[in-house]
């Protein structure tokens, strides 16, 4: 195997200079960095807006290492605020704009941010106003928000109790010298919800984004300056942040942003209007795109896309094949995590193994261990650990969870995997999804893969329920491809379809037909809801 060259960065390194400033010196000032509907933002305009945000934050007294809360939709302002904070050595904290007020309150207090920058369209979702006579911010008792002092609103009016982003930036200088940060200084936080408990803040360092760019975006996707990038996953997610922000900015490419929800027609409209060459999405969205009817007399045109990428959950082989047949585009499935920042394992164009997560990305390492931390045999399911220099430094204020997850150079992903003889990794579920049936460990993913091959199935999820003898048995939760309510006859057909390909104890004992599967905002299946848990 050819040795992978190390990524060398100077001791003094500021990510905003790398991803934004250098494009001016390299002659890309007039090139379009971001397209958002009718708005076109050049690299020079982005550079100046980043500087204005940084100066505005300094005017508010924001200091190096201090957190800045970002509750923003996917617009150019997100990019400016994210890198504007980093440029002055502060730490931006992007959070999910679909969160409820109670969640925002927890994260504001946990991050101890004194300044929040918020899109006006989601301001009311961030603050639960208790009186129509009060502005949203004024309605929150100070005793509940222990640190927040200033809210800057993007696109807001003058009477909402906040500072206007437009005046905030207009009053600031477009000239700003970057803080002399280290490559190992904290750069930004991303909250990882995990499977239980309150969200945990992953502390990512100045060099982490460069690692993900070099190891994945450049080496696997061959991203280049003439690429046009569109991500269905939003910027506040680790996946979307790389896809649509620092990946294109790393090479001087163009990012295409969609502020609103990624409904199928909206996604197709963006693709046909803006013509991205790289499309990033999640399995559930690819399924929705496949279910969406084409305009009468023609098919949607995806011919400009050279790579479609999937992550968030395992992509069923059936979805891969259906997408390729309909649109002529291969989907490169991969696995990443908020803790590792972006991808760790990926398929590669020309060597895709449908249904697998691919191979370990060169420059990273992976191992599969049993519950006693011994290597498992080839083909056996175990716990996936990954070694990647993009991994966060730890969880903010969570010492024990950090120790239990990050072990020196290695991170426990919490995923069950097995590896085949050719080096491909196959997802078997989260560690807490595995159940013993008839004395044998069973992965719900294995049953789901078979169910997804049936022509009547659009989506499938498997959970386990105790039978009359209090023994766990598989339950298949099915969304039909034609959207109709399934019949008992179809249920029996699906049971026998699984039994024809897997051992009999993996045959679903029950089949439930649902209009849709419960998903998180990132498209991940919420199995606990299917199990009837709260």
Task: Please say which residue of 367, 398, 430 terminates a domain.
Answer: 430
The count of structural domains within the chain is 3
Q: Domain check: are 127 and 260 in the same one? A: no
Confidence of residue 430 (pLDDT cuts 50, 70, 90): confident
Per-residue HEC secondary structure of 158-192 comes to CCCCCEEHHHHHHCCCCCCCCCCCECCCEEEEEEE
The predicted structure's pLDDT at residue 141: 55
* pLDDT single digits (tens) 353-406: 999 999 999 999 999 999 999 999 999 999 999 999 999 999 999 999 999 999
The predicted structure's pLDDT at residue 499: 92
Q: Domain check: are 258 and 174 in the same one? A: no
CATH of the domain at 163: 3.40.50.980
Task: Please say which residue of 379, 408, 430 terminates a domain.
Answer: 430
The predicted structure's pLDDT at residue 433: 79
Q: Domain check: are 394 and 337 in the same one? A: yes
Q: Is residue 28 in a domain?
A: no
The predicted structure's pLDDT at residue 42: 98
Q: Is residue 35 in a domain?
A: no
Q: Is residue 510 helix, strand or coil?
A: strand
* pLDDT single digits (tens) 104-141: 999 999 999 999 999 999 988 887 643 434 445 555 55
Q: Is residue 6 in a domain?
A: no
Confidence of residue 157 (pLDDT cuts 50, 70, 90): low
Q: Domain check: are 66 and 170 in the same one? A: yes
CA-wise closest residue to 241 among 18, 47, 30, 72: 72
Comparing 9-18, 60-69, 454-463, the range with the smallest average pLDDT is 454-463
Q: Domain check: are 283 and 414 in the same one? A: yes
SS3 of the chain: helix, strand, coil, percent, to 5: 30, 25, 45
Q: Are 446 and 476 in contact (CB under 8 A)?
A: no
Q: Domain check: are 416 and 267 in the same one? A: yes
Confidence of residue 142 (pLDDT cuts 50, 70, 90): low
How many C-beta atoms surround the C-beta of residue 368 within 10 A? 21
Q: Is residue 189 in a domain?
A: no
CA contacts within 13 A on the Cβ side of 65: 5
pTM above 0.85, yes or no: yes
Q: Is residue 303 helix, strand or coil?
A: coil
Q: Domain check: are 218 and 243 in the same one? A: yes
Which residue range(s) make up the domain with 82? 44-183
Q: Domain check: are 251 and 393 in the same one? A: yes
Task: Please state the rounded mean pLDDT for residues 524-534.
Answer: 80
Report the C-alpha gap between 385 and 405 in whole angstroms.
9
The whole-chain average pLDDT of the chain stands at: 92
Q: Is residue 372 in a domain?
A: yes
Confidence of residue 158 (pLDDT cuts 50, 70, 90): low
Q: Domain check: are 98 and 238 in the same one? A: no
The predicted structure's pLDDT at residue 130: 38
DSSP calls for 406-466: EETTEEEEEEEEEE-TTS-EEEEEEGGG-EEETTEEE-HHHHHHHHTTSTTEEEEEEEEEE
Q: Is residue 477 in a domain?
A: yes
Comparing 141-155, 289-303, 386-400, the range with the smallest average pLDDT is 141-155
The predicted structure's pLDDT at residue 519: 86
Q: Is residue 23 in a domain?
A: no
Q: Is residue 36 in a domain?
A: no
Q: What is the DSSP letter of 486?
A: P
Task: Please state the rounded mean pLDDT for residues 73-88.
Answer: 98
State the Rg of the chain over Cα.
Answer: 24
* pLDDT single digits (tens) 346-358: 999 999 999 999 9
The predicted structure's pLDDT at residue 159: 54
Task: Please state the rounded mean pLDDT for residues 469-480.
Answer: 88
* pLDDT single digits (tens) 209-231: 999 999 999 999 999 999 999 99
Q: Domain check: are 271 and 390 in the same one? A: yes
CATH of the domain at 453: 3.30.300.30
Q: Are 440 and 430 in contact (CB under 8 A)?
A: no
Task: Please say which residue of 183, 210, 229 terminates a domain.
Answer: 183
CATH of the domain at 364: 3.40.50.12780
Q: Are 250 and 19 in contact (CB under 8 A)?
A: yes
> In this structure, are strands 278-281 and 307-310 parallel, antiparallel, or unpaired?
parallel
Angle between the N-to-C axes of helices 488-499 and 444-451, in degrees from 0 to 180, rounded to the nearest 10: 120
CA-wise closest residue to 342 among 225, 245, 227: 245
Q: Domain check: are 298 and 227 in the same one? A: yes
Q: Domain check: are 138 and 72 in the same one? A: yes
The predicted structure's pLDDT at residue 219: 97
Confidence of residue 437 (pLDDT cuts 50, 70, 90): confident
* pLDDT single digits (tens) 191-215: 987 544 688 999 999 999 999 999 9
């Amino acid at each position: 195997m050819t040795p992978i060259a190390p990524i060398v960065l100077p001791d003094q390194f500021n990510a905003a200079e790398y991803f934004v400033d250098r494009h001016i010196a390299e002659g890309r000032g007039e090139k379009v960095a971001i397209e958002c509907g009718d708005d076109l933002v050049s690299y020079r305009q982005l550079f100046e807006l980043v500087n204005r945000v940084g100066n505005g934050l300094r005017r508010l007294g924001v200091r190096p290492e201090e957190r800045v809360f970002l509750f923003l939709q996917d617009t150019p302002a997100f990019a400016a605020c994210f890198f504007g904070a980093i440029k002055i050595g502060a730490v931006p904290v992007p959070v999910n704009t679909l969160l409820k007020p109670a969640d925002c309150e927890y994260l504001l207090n946990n991050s101890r941010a004194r300044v929040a920058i918020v899109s006006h369209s989601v301001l009311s979702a961030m603050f639960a106003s208790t009186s129509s006579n009060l502005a949203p911010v004024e309605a929150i008792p100070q005793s509940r928000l222990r640190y927040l002092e200033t809210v800057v609103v993007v696109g807001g009016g003058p009477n909402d109790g906040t500072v206007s982003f437009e005046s905030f930036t207009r009053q600031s200088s477009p000239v700003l010298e970057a803080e002399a940060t280290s490559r190992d200084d904290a750069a930004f936080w991303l909250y990882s919800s995990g499977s239980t408990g309150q969200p945990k803040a992953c502390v990512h360092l100045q060099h982490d984004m460069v690692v993900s760019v070099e190891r994945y975006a450049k080496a696997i996707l061959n991203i280049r300056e003439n690429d046009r990038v569109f991500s269905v996953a939003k910027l506040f997610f680790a996946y979307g942040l790389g896809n649509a922000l620092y990946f294109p900015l790393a090479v001087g490419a163009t990012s295409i942003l969609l502020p609103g929800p990624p409904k199928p027609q909206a996604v197709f409209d963006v693709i046909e209007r803006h013509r991205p060459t790289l499309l990033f999405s999640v399995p559930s969205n690819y399924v929705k795109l496949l279910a969406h009817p084409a305009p009468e007399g023609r098919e949607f045109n995806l011919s400009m896309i050279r790579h479609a990428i999937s992550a968030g959950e395992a992509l069923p082989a059936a979805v891969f094949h259906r997408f390729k047949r309909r649109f002529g585009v291969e989907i490169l499935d991969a696995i990443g995590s908020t803790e590792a920042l972006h991808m760790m394992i990926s398929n590669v164009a020309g060597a895709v193994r449908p249904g697998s997560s691919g191979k370990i990305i060169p420059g990273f390492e992976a191992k599969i261990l049993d519950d006693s931390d011994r290597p498992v045999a080839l083909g056996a399911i175990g716990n996936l650990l990954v070694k990647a220099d993009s991994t966060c430094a730890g969880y903010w204020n969570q010492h024990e969870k950090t120790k239990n997850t990050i072990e020196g150079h290695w991170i426990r992903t919490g995923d069950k995997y097995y590896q085949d003889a050719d080096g491909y990794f196959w997802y078997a579920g989260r560690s807490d999804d595995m159940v013993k049936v008839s004395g044998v460990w069973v992965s719900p993913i294995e049953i789901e893969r078979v169910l997804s091959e049936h022509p009547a199935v659009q989506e499938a999820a498997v959970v386990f329920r105790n039978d009359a003898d209090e023994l766990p048995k598989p339950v298949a939760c099915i969304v039909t491809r034609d959207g109709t309510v399934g019949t008992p006859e179809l249920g029996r057909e699906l049971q026998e379809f699984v039994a024809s390909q897997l051992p009999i104890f993996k045959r679903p004992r029950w089949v439930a037909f649902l209009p849709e599967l419960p998903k998180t905002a990132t498209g991940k299946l919420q199995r606990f809801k299917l199990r009837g848990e709260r």
